[in-house]
Structure 1
Amino acid sequence: MPRPAELEPIGAAALWVSYFTAYGALVERAGMRPGDRVLITAASGGVGRAAIQIANQIGAVPIAVTRQSAKAESLLVAGAAAVIATDREDIGEAALRHTGGVGADIILDAVMGPGLAELSRAAKLGGTLAAVGWLDPRPASFPANPSLTIHRYMSFADMVDPVTARRVAAFLAAGVRTGVLRPTVDRVFTLDDIVQAHRYLETATPAGKIVVTP
């Protein structure tokens, strides 16, 4: 895919995989539409921030979820309509409060694990959950919302389809061109420092993508 002219190489490196994942899960699988209330877990990461921007591009309402209340302000600045910090509030109750008592139309989840049952309570009846990661390696609990439709999404399966790849690339290029999509780079390492880059990824909670340059 060509690099959007508006992005330097480092910004472009932070675009393709995370934004493809967010778009594919939200639009291709969950069918996100304007006005949908979208709950986004692990919102501080690369996919989470991409999802916030893509939701705004389409006209949906992104509600960011983070474990640390200290990150709330940065997520609001990043475009979230509201932030739920799970270190100080119950995710189900907070989601109902931010959606007028209905629940989220779509949940984009990168965590899974035992918290899935509680997370499912944040969705409306007949809502959709798109799982894009497994940050919590423990077995996932059974969803408490029996009407929830669940999609397990891996972007690499769509990337090998040229029709889908061109459709996603056109959407991302338009978003970059209009300034709605702005890849967030947390830190840049050189290839000589690849070990430190991996250690940073494993021990820190990056606010965006980590990019490695030659």
Structure 2
Amino acid sequence: MQIAKHVGATPIAITRKGGKVDELKGAGFMHVLQAGEDDIEREILRITDGQGARVVFDPVTGPDLERIIKATCKDAIVFIYGALSHEATPIPVMHVLGKHTTIRGYEFIEVTSDDAKLERAKAFINEGLSAGHFQPQVARTFAFEDVVNAYRYLESNSQFGKIVLTLD
């Protein structure tokens, strides 16, 4: 969200859990939608004044991806970087064809395995941190010896932010 705002985008968060709505708003999201409660397609189109989303990052996929894709603009790009949903992921083919939507997978190794990309990414993040544009969001810190509990906490999906292991 911080990166999106920094580059001039309007970030819209979608959560499956109502309990995360306030956390997301507190973190700076102006627009937070809840899957199963909000009409995702209608709300994204409303927020974008009918234009639709230009870039989508989806770690979940599943049935909501269809509604998200329908709420994209012409030539939008949808990055899928996870598959947290165990449900089928329908693709609205006619929308993809009619609006020239690109759907692609993304893995961080695309950056970490390319030295030039990695250096650009590190510079961008370090500059953003130094300038105060980016603030790390830490959910909880665990000692390395407590890695099992850290992993259990991660699996609970109740965290908001990153889980940090310390080596002290």
Read off the aligned partner of 1:195 and give its amino acid letter.
V
Choose which of 171, 191, 206 in structure 1 pairs with 2:124: 171
1:137-160, Cα deviation, whole Å (9 max, x unpaired): 344222352231112111113212
Partner of 2:56: 107
Choose which of 138, 157, 163 in structure 2 pairs with 1:210: 163
Partner of 1:95, secondary structure, is helix
Rg larger for: 2
Counterparts of 2:115 and 2:123, CA distance in 1: 12
Correspondences of 1:175-194 after superposition (within 5 Å): 175-194=128-147
Counterparts of 2:37 and 2:63, CA distance in 1: 19
Counterparts of 1:204 and 1:154, CA distance in 2: 21
Partner of 1:45: none
Choose which of 69, 73, 76 in structure 2 pairs with 1:127: 76
User: Residues 114 and 205 from structure 1, CA distance in 2 versus in 1: closer, same or farther, beyond 3 angstroms?
Assistant: same
Query: Structure 1 regions of 5+ residues with no counterpart?
Result: 1-51
Aligned: 1:198 with 2:151: yes
Partner of 2:4: 55
Read off the aligned partner of 1:130 and give its amino acid letter.
F
Kept in 2, the 8 Å contact 1:189–1:213? The answer is yes
Counterparts of 2:21 and 2:129, CA distance in 1: 24
Counterparts of 1:98 and 1:113, CA distance in 2: 23
Deviation at 1:87, TM superposition (A): 3.9
RMSD: 1.7
Aligned: 1:95 with 2:48: no
Deviation at 1:133, TM superposition (A): 1.3
Query: Structure 2 regions of 5+ residues with no counterpart?
Result: none
Counterparts of 1:184 and 1:154, CA distance in 2: 21
Read off the aligned partner of 1:208 and give its amino acid letter.
G
Kept in 2, the 8 Å contact 1:67–1:87? The answer is yes
Read off the aligned partner of 1:177 and give its amino acid letter.
S
Deviation at 1:77, TM superposition (A): 2.6
Partner of 1:61, secondary structure, is coil
Read off the aligned partner of 1:152 and give its amino acid letter.
G
Correspondences of 1:27-42 after superposition (within 5 Å): none
Partner of 2:24: 75
Deviation at 1:126, TM superposition (A): 2.5
